[in-house]
Amino acid sequence: MARKMWMRGTIAAVSAAAMLALGACSSEPASEESGGSESAEGSGGDELISIGFSQVGAESGWRAANTQSIQDTLTEENGFDLSFSDAQQKQENQIQALRSYIQQGVDVLAFSPVVETGWDAVLEEAKSAGIPVILTDRAVDSEDDTLYESFIGSDFVLEGEMAGEWAVEQYDGEGYKMVELQGTTGSAPAIDRKEGFGTAISGSDIEVIDSQTGNFTRTEGKQVMEGFLQKYDDIDLVFAHNDDMGLGAIEAIEAAGMTPGEDIKIITIDAVKDGMQALADGKINYIVECNPLLGPDLAEIAQKVVAGEEVEKRIVVEDLAFDQEAAVEALPDRQY
């Protein structure tokens, strides 16, 4: 599978240029529900690209930023007629939404799959209907990579590795006991971040004493951390698969009379504003970024696919990492 590392600045530049060059591309007539051919016209007067997007849910700050990026970019002004649905973290809701978009005859289907497996049937249906599919953020686990045109998103294994490497640099030799707050069971980021972190700490003396899912939410992250604190009195380190669960863990640690970031160190992934503020305040110790601003890349790839141009099968978005000092510096200009 072809892999390409794009700097964020480059992506933005390429996307803007592509939008200007392609303008509003011609497409199949939009369905009545998505606006019909008359209302499906942008300021340029050309037909809009109708796109059905099925979002995972609204589970985290990251997801809110991702939704905003998609809705702000796939606008009529930019040549799109966007139908958007929130699956509330349920695969059956996503499959239902995708089937309804297929029935409407949208030009492009896009979605961020809540879990990795179980998509082949609906993707076959899209293929038979001649509707191209673009994956954003999360991958599907399928033998057949002709079922989608392109997958745009971060390298989650690398994110886990970056987090684990920093943990080893800082804490190896201290005999730290670690608990892990995993993301949604069966989702690509939970599987890959766990794998990457595990690989990075293997051979160190960091010991993973427990690992449970907090489903990427603050509430469940807090609940799981409360359980860990009742069960163990010697936790030194938390690895949370996203900021929101780390923020939930902070609440649990404080409620137990301890100081997060000092008594118990915390490493998370995402780098959304709330997480970065907690890092700047010393309550989180390290964050690996996961960039949610995927709207411009999705717009560019959708335009190319509809225009019949070749697109990269895999577009890897580059992520940074932050310690406390870097968070203090980055916060004033943080977009999300």
Residues in touch with ligand AHR (CB under 6 A): 59-60, 62-63, 137-138, 189, 216, 242, 244, 269-270, 290
DSSP 183: -
The amino acid at 268: T
How many Å apart are CA 257 and CA 28, to the nearest integer? 61
The amino acid at 173: G
Smallest gap from residue 242 Cβ to ligand AHR (A): 3
CB closer to ligand AHR out of 193 and 304:
193
How many Å apart are CA 163 and CA 265, to the nearest integer? 13
CB closer to ligand AHR out of 48 and 269:
269
CB closer to ligand AHR out of 278 and 290:
290
Tokens of 110: 């896009």
Smallest gap from residue 118 Cβ to ligand AHR (A): 17
CB closer to ligand AHR out of 74 and 135:
135
Assign 158 to helix, strand or coil.
helix
CB closer to ligand AHR out of 90 and 231:
90
Smallest gap from residue 5 Cβ to ligand AHR (A): 18
Smallest gap from residue 103 Cβ to ligand AHR (A): 27
Tokens of 329: 């510096």
Smallest gap from residue 312 Cβ to ligand AHR (A): 20
Cα–Cα distances (Å) from 157 to 134, 162, 277, in that order, read 21, 9, 25
- Which residues, in sequence order, are CB contacts of 149 under 8 Å at separation 6+? 132, 133, 134, 301, 305, 311, 313
CB closer to ligand AHR out of 24 and 135:
135
Q: In what order do the strands lie in the sheet with 237-240?
A: 207-213, 177-182, 237-240, 265-270, 286-289, 321-322
Smallest gap from residue 63 Cβ to ligand AHR (A): 5
For residue 121, the tally of other CB atoms under 10 A from its CB is 9
- Which residues, in sequence order, are CB contacts of 142 under 8 Å at separation 6+? 119, 120, 123
